[in-house]
Amino acid sequence: VMGDSVNLVSFDSYMVSGDDLGMGGYRLLEVDNRCVLPYGVDSRILVSSGDVIHAWALPSIGVKVDAVPGRINQLGVHLMGSGVMYGQCSEICGVNHSFMPIGLEGVSPSVFYHWLIS
């Protein structure tokens, strides 16, 4: 929240198919649009769902939060450095449960700022 206005950032992200996967990419984990957060800064992630209960989980940084329709859950994150982290939906949410990867990229605050305004 900045002043009297609320700034929201939202996006969709889809799994990259095996045919489009580049060298070194992780099958069933690589996404076309990673979530980007600055490292060394306290960040808050808001999670919800439009259909069924999901679970937004990134084991490498020790976070998991339920995404529930009609409810907004939050979690605090403080990344210690740059890098790409992968996770998946950790709730049995339906037939395509196995195909819901999560990609998070930790970047410097200046890179994050440029990503945010572009």
pLDDT in tens, 28-50: 788 888 889 999 999 999 998 88
pLDDT in tens, 11-28: 567 667 777 777 777 777
How many other CB atoms are there within 10 angstroms of residue 21's CB atom? 15
Cβ pair 76, 42 in contact under 8 A: yes
In a domain, 84, yes or no: yes
Exposed/middle/buried for residue 86 (C-beta within 10 Å: 0-12, 13-18, 19+) = middle
In a domain, 6, yes or no: no
In a domain, 77, yes or no: yes
- DSSP string for 32-58: SS-EEEETTSEEEEEE-BSSS-EEEEE
Residue 69 lies in domain: 35-117
Q: What is the pTM of this model?
A: 0.77
Provide the number of structural domains found in the chain.
1
In a domain, 72, yes or no: yes
Residue reference for tokens 């339906």: 94
Provide the pLDDT for residue 1. 40
pLDDT in tens, 58-111: 999 999 999 999 999 999 999 999 999 999 988 888 877 778 899 999 999 999
Give the full edge-to-edge strand order of the sheet including 63-67: 35-38, 101-107, 83-89, 54-58, 63-67
In a domain, 10, yes or no: no
The CATH number covering residue 105 comes to 2.60.40.420
